[in-house]
Amino acid sequence: MELIAQGRDADVYALDESRVLRRYRHGGPTGLESRLMTYLAACGYPVPRVYEITDTDMVLERLAGPTMLDVLARRPWRVGSLGRELGRLHDRLHALSAPEWLPKRFSTTDGDRVLHLDLHPGNVILTRRGPVVI
């Protein structure tokens, strides 16, 4: 498997042209994360499709495109438009009601809206279908 990305807690490997493996180094919240991603996708929020999970691994849709951070580094004059896009992604997420099964640490203080906790330009892939949050 080819390592194609590394995050704070997980490594991402290419499986094929349409799927990646996100492997958490020390176990991860794969059950909760996949359930939330499926919920968000059903609400129309742009997240990768989840195919399979284990205690440490998630097989996800492979996204084609640069991160918003990569684009900002190469084209700093786009900071205004990309900043507005990031703000829209935050607004869209916070407009969604938190499901009752979502732990309070992933929702607003009153527990009624979903929070990402790490939504920044490095976690947004700019695909042909639009930005997708990872």
- What is the pairing mode between strands 10-14 and 19-24? antiparallel
The residue whose two tokens read 């059950």 is 31
Q: How far is residue 20's CA from residue 25's CA, in Å, rounded to a whole number?
A: 16
2-61 topology per CATH: Phosphorylase Kinase; domain 1 (3.30.200)
Mean pLDDT of 93-102: 88
Q: How confident is the model at residue 7 (pLDDT cuts 50, 70, 90)?
A: confident
pLDDT given at position 85: 97
What predicted TM-score, i.e. pTM, was given to this entire model?
0.89
pLDDT category, 123, cuts 50, 70, 90? very high
| Residue 92 predicted with pLDDT over 90 | yes
Is pLDDT above 80 for 53? yes
Give the mean pLDDT of 14-36: 91
Q: Is residue 49 scored above 90 in pLDDT?
A: yes
The whole-number average pLDDT for the span 6-33 is 90
Which strands form 57-61's sheet, in the order they lie side by side?
2-6, 10-14, 19-24, 57-61, 50-53
Residue 9's pLDDT is 86
Share of the chain above pLDDT 70, in %: 99
Question: What pLDDT band is residue 133 in, cutting at 50, 70 and 90?
Answer: very high
Parse the chain into domains and list their residue ranges.
2-61, 68-133
pLDDT at 118: 83
